[in-house]
Amino acid sequence: MSENLIEFNNISKFFGKVIALKDVTMKLKKGEIMCLLGDNGAGKSTLIKTLAGVYKPDEGEILIEGKKTIFDSPKDALDMGIGTVYQDLALVSLMSITRNFFMGREPIKGIPFLKTFDIEKANKIAAERMGQIGIDVRDPSQAVGTMSGGERQCLAISRAIYFGAKVLVLDEPTSALGVHQASMVLKYVVKAASEGLAVILITHNVHHAYPVGNSFTVLNRGKSLGTFKKEDISREELLGMMAGGEELDKLEVELKEMNRLNS
Amino acid sequence: MSEKAKSIASKKVSGQDERLQKVSKLKLILNRPELGALGGAILVFIFFGIVAGDTGMFSAYGMLNFLDVSANLGIIAIAAAMLMIGGEFDLSIGSMIGFAGICIAIPAIYWGWPLWVSIIFAFAMAVLVGYFNGILVVRTGLPSFIVTLAMLFILRGATLAITRLITGRTQVPGLRVLIENDPIAWMFATDTFKWLFTWLGSMNLIALRTDGTPLATGIPPSVIWFIAATLFATWILMKTRYGNWIFASGGDKNGATNVGVPVGRVKISLFIGTAVAATIFATIQVLDAGSADTMRGNLKELEAIAAAVVGGCLLTGGYGSAIGAAFGALIFGTVSMGIFYTDVDTDWFKVFLGAMMLIAVVFNNYVRRRVTESK
């Protein structure tokens, strides 16, 4: 059992009468990419926030490396190696790459009460890390606003890894990106996993998830429809399950009806 | 990381550094937030150099005059700039100046407190007011514009009401005699480098009074505070972890919170900063005039914000500089004093200031777009 880096067992979360999550179970090994798929309102955000320590689950347990764990705060989750990259990335576009990379966790030097932000060291590390991803950083003091969407995403992921993430939780990392940018991000995600991280990739885009995922968990209205290994499920089956196949069927019927009336 | 990756990474970085040097030394300077204010200050000096060069504006006495005005404004402008970078406004700065003034004067004159205790009392009140502003903004999530606008009225009204209640008037004179031998007041009331001015006078390099003492007696305390505040604020913003938190809090509150920046604490401390700066301003002016006035500091909050904006601060936060605000204040002070030396009717002063602000904002907006969008 403890070969799983992280385990979610029967997690439930309620907000008053609303059941946001019910009996969700997920297991992840090192080097594994699990895609969490679901339509809007499926409970993805709630699940992310539970992973990140923002919410405490009302039922169920979280195991990290086999040990039962309760996150009291986002910082707790961070300290346990859960690195969450939110959709807004927590990057400030007016600030430099370096200042963003170390935002909130700046390296310091000097004597007590006169400690200064060690910007040389920070610049060096930031440039080095961006170089590793293969991003052309002309100058680590350039503003993040000058970077492309994919580069920003990679910067945010790289930052989470640098600060000790063992489990990467990525919230819709490709949703705002074009094909080229998205593939750049996904490539980096695969690379990170191959270096021994576990990745939870949250998305509603099956086309982005399918090529990189090892397993897929589908959420619908707060409940898990199950976790499927890649070899056990096709892209189309996933898509159908996610959108609620009936709804698409209904749409097809309606469209036909409209066409008939128009003609 | 493997040795190979390391060497590739470092090669890339150093190679790019070279390219950067070639293309964009100038661009780097063009991208600084304080550029507009620096350019503006130079233009203003050239303008007055031509128009008023032979009028005494640039004599030692004339220069100290406009430097003193600039420095006073600069002290509050720098604090306002830091708060703006942190993403908030403080419209209660002007009222805080009046309030701090009577916090010094009433205890010292009517309650018989030693002057230094009154000054410490005023600073303690400033910390309280700033903390209150900050906690209100942080806790309620209301725009600081509204919260501090309310504080503007409350403080000014309280200043007037309390002063009238205790003294029956709106002015509290009689402070000057208390300055001598006070262990703290000298910090706000002593001209420095007197020996230099005496020497310059003895060499007949600067204008003298009829009794032989120089007309300009020394560097006023405001200028020393102003320079110290500029250096201190710049050090904080550029060189400390707290400085990075200020930029982060103003640039993206949620993002900053998510990566562990204590945004609330940063903002509260910045509100305390503006209130304390207002109290430094008030202490210097009250001790210089020897009296406190309930209307002191009226509209100064707008001048401070204007100077910060001319200095390159964005109204939306996350961008700006203390040096820029310092130059912004210098422009204000120089124009407001310089206009007396020209033939221009001083009625036009505010027109000039308004126009200058507009130009500065348009220019700064352009700079910001360059910084964030150029690829």
Mean pLDDT of B312-318: 88
Is B253 part of the contact surface with chain A (CB cutoff 8 Å)?
Answer: no
Q: Which residue bears the tokens 């994919």?
A: A150
Residues 6+ apart with CB under 8 A from B102: B159, B162, B163, B172, B292, B294
Please, what is the average pLDDT of chain B? Answer: 87
Q: Is B280:B188 a contact under the CB 8 Å cutoff?
A: yes
pLDDT value for B112: 92
Q: How far is A38 from chain B (nearest CA, A)?
A: 24
pLDDT value for B26: 63
**Residue-by-residue DSSP string for B227-274:** HHHHHHHHHHHHHSHHHHHHHHHHH-HHHHHHTT--HHHHHHHHHHHH
Binary contact (B240, A119; C-beta < 8 A): no
Q: Which pLDDT band holds residue A7 (cuts at 50, 70, 90)? A: confident
In b/e form, how buried is each residue of B122-158, taking b as 16+ CB within 10 angstroms? bbebbeebbebbbebbbeeeeebeebbbebbeebbee
Q: How far is B370 from chain A (nearest CA, A)?
A: 9
Nearest to B13 among A78, A95, A131 (CB): A131
ipTM: 0.80
- Chain B contacts of A91, Cβ < 8 Å? 252, 255
Binary contact (B373, A146; C-beta < 8 A): yes
What is the SS3 assignment for B53?
Answer: coil
B296, exposed or middle or buried, with CB in 10 Å at 0-12, 13-18, 19+? buried
Is B256 part of the contact surface with chain A (CB cutoff 8 Å)?
Answer: yes
Binary contact (B255, A102; C-beta < 8 A): no
Choosing among 3.30.565.10, 3.40.50.970, 3.40.50.10540, 3.40.50.300, the CATH entry for A4-91+164-262 is: 3.40.50.300
What is the SS3 assignment for B161?
Answer: helix
What are B1-36's pLDDT values in tens digits? 444 444 444 444 444 444 444 445 566 666 677 888
Is B231 part of the contact surface with chain A (CB cutoff 8 Å)?
Answer: no
Identify the structural domains of chain B with CATH numbers, from first to last: 37-373 (1.10.3470)
Residues 6+ apart with CB under 8 A from B93: B76, B79, B80, B274, B275, B277, B278, B297, B300, B301, B304
pLDDT of A177 higher than 80 = yes
Interface test with B, best of A94, A109, A113, A161 (most B CBs within 10 A): A94
Mean pLDDT of A205-227: 86
Distance CA B290, CA B178 (A): 9
Interface test with A, best of B19, B29, B244 (most A CBs within 10 A): B244
Count how many pairs of residues, chain A against chain B, have C-beta atoms within 8 Å.
111
Binary contact (A91, B254; C-beta < 8 A): no
Q: Which pLDDT band holds residue A75 (cuts at 50, 70, 90)? A: confident
Q: Is B8:A135 a contact under the CB 8 Å cutoff?
A: no
Mean pLDDT of B223-243: 95
- Chain B contacts of A95, Cβ < 8 Å? 244, 247-248, 251, 318
pLDDT of B287 higher than 80 = yes
Task: Give the global pTM.
Answer: 0.86
Binary contact (B248, A104; C-beta < 8 A): yes
**Residue-by-residue DSSP string for B62-129:** HHHHHHHHHHHHHHHHHHHHHHHHTT---TTHHHHHHHHHHHHHHHHHTS---HHHHHHHHHHHHHHH
Structure tokens at B74: 């600069």
- Phi, psi of B229, rounded to the nearest 5 degrees: -65, -40
Is B259 part of the contact surface with chain A (CB cutoff 8 Å)?
Answer: yes
Compare all CA atoms of chain B with the CA of A131 and give the residue at the minimum distance: B9
Q: How far is A197 from chain B (nearest CA, A)?
A: 16
